Structure 1
Amino acid sequence: MAPAWTSAVEEIARTERLLVALDFDGTLAPLGDDPMAVRALPEAAEAVRRLAAAPDTTVAFVSGRQLADLRVIGEHADDSVVWLAGSHGAEHWRPAGIEIAADDVPMADVVERAGIADALVADVERAVEGIDGAWVEPKAYGFALHTRLAQEHDAARAQSLVDALVAERAPEWRRRTGKNVVEYAWRHEGKDTAIARLRAESEATAVVFAGDDVTDEDALRSLGEGDLGIRVGEGETAAKVRVADPLELAELLTALAVSRAS
């Protein structure tokens, strides 16, 4: 029996220029306790390779990870043809020969806000230092509080302390919740703006986007009638299609690559 998503995949495979934009953690790769040890499933990596080789098809990773870390976990080399949008769309990488639009944030603002962020991160680290299983990951435009290894009451305590610090010191920062993580950033871009930029630059006539978490819903809600949104795993979603896990997503992406190549 064919999977429920078969007809949707076959339909979008016929578009003239396709953008396949994919979250990474929990989407191409299972979630892990060590964020930098995460890697795409072999089946997912192969599906990405086949899609990237298909005619008139652009593949992009769209992640909350800062760009440098996304390149590590995505095993992304300098000669890769996979486009990247890191830090929820605040950072971008394109293959050689494709121009990246200049950042519209003045350098003076970047320097000033980076200094504020560094001081805030140091205070946040001290605040959660004694809380078992809670730790802080500095990021390009802020930081993330991880509580995957913490007990529920410890996670709640850590989040309360950090929320209070950010509310006092940087109330204008954007707060995002995910699976056992809360992110705070002075850049307000979201995955919806990342998709819009990728769509325009790739001149896509349709977009496939897949994600597994709350932050991916911004992108899923932004998709149009002719696009295909995919939710990986459980949770309320705006996606047209749901798959059980990264392995089933790899199956879907492989079917898309086959249809696209033909």
Structure 2
Amino acid sequence: MEFTSAAGEQKYAALVRVAAETIVGLDFDGTLSPIVDDPAAAHIHPDAGEVLLELASQVAAIAVITGRPARAALDLGGLEEVGNAIGDAGKELYLFGQYGNERWSSTNRRVIGPRPPVGLASFERELPRLLRRLDAAAAHVEDKVLSVAIHTRRLPDPEAAFARLLPELESLAARHDLVVEPGRNVVEVRSAGVHKGLVVERLVEDLHAGGFLFAGDDLGDLEAFDAVDALAKDGLPTLLVCSASDEESALVARADVVVHGPEGVLALLRQLAADARDLRA
């Protein structure tokens, strides 16, 4: 891991001291699983289950906060099995899907979520015509039930297609009272009012956290970074981790620690667990 400043190293040491009261928040894609062309093939890193179970013994709780539907993240990550093991050990794993609209936990082992937003069906009916008009008919459209994601990764020039689509999708979404969440070569359209930052705030309040670590990789994690920054200003020990890659580094300037992809994230979490255990010994 690479600290972005001396202050980042100090923040890590402070978090280790309050590890038993700390919540560890983790994005899924690009953080626990590698980014791949087919979202349905984005399986969690093979070492993640072991690392999360080890980490859970040293912290207050672990929360995976993702834009994916909760059921998809559970299945791709094997997180239901991991969560059950964590729950059986008397600890807690939360999974928040669709930016917090859905919730699963190792205590309440079922997915709870709302109905799809009213304007989503109308948006989806108009979407194919917009994609054809912008020469992006081959974009992969992922129906997440509560939202829809338009991926440009498979197009000949993904970045140019993303830049071309984003303002048009924002306009169409606004007409249906929806909001957009830009990510790495993907634009997600969903209902307003819930985002990763709110999940962070609620977790701290509900669990009376004494510290918070959040690891993410792209623009969809900015609101969580903002929420953690606000907690730090209020005096809570915090650590922001950027899972950087060759194609995405949007959060590097905001992070206290920069690691390379899921392997780097898991190495940091393994180190945190070890340092917290050694401090208690």
CA–CA distance in structure 1, aligned partners of residues 266 and 108 of structure 2:
29
Q: What value does the CA root-mean-square deviation take over the aligned residues? A: 2.8
Instruction: Report the Cα distance in structure 2 between the residues aligned to 1:186 and 1:197, rounded to whole angstroms.
Output: 19
Determine if contact 1:10/1:259 at 8 Å carries over to the other structure: no
* TM-score, length of structure 1 as denominator length: 0.83
How far does residue 248 in structure 1 lie from its aligned partner after superposition? 1.5
| 1:126–1:76 CA distance, 2 compared to 1 (3 A) | farther
Look up the match of 1:174. 179
Q: What are the equivalent positions in structure 2 for 1:79-228 lying under 5 Å apart?
A: 79=84, 81=86, 82-96=93-107, 110=115, 113-114=117-118, 116-125=119-128, 127-128=130-131, 131=136, 133-152=138-157, 153-159=160-166, 162-167=169-174, 169-170=175-176, 172-223=177-228, 224-225=231-232, 226-228=237-239
Secondary structure in 2 matching 1:41: coil
Distance 2:67 2:35 in 1: 14
Pick from 60, 64, 75: which aligns with 2:78?
A: 75
Gaps of 5+ in 1: none
Stretch deviating more after TM superposition (237-246 or 214-223): 237-246
- TM-score, normalised relative to structure 2: 0.78
The one-letter code sitting in structure 2 at the alignment partner of 1:183 is E
Give ranges in structure 2 of 5+ residues lacking alignment: 87-92
1:247 aligns with 2:246: no
Offset of 1:154 from its aligned partner?
Answer: 4.5
* Residues 2, 257 of structure 2: 8 Å contact kept: no
Q: 1:160 to 1:7 in 2, by over 3 A?
A: closer
Whole-angstrom CA distance in 2 between matches of 1:260 and 1:31: 30
Q: Distance in 2 between matches of 1:219 and 1:163?
A: 21
CA distance in 2, matches of 1:70, 1:3: 28
Describe the shift of the 1:186–1:3 C-alpha distance in structure 2 as closer, same or farther (beyond 3 A): closer
Superposed CA deviations along residues 161-195 of structure 1, whole A, max 9, x for unmatched, are: 5444334x41x311111000001111331111011
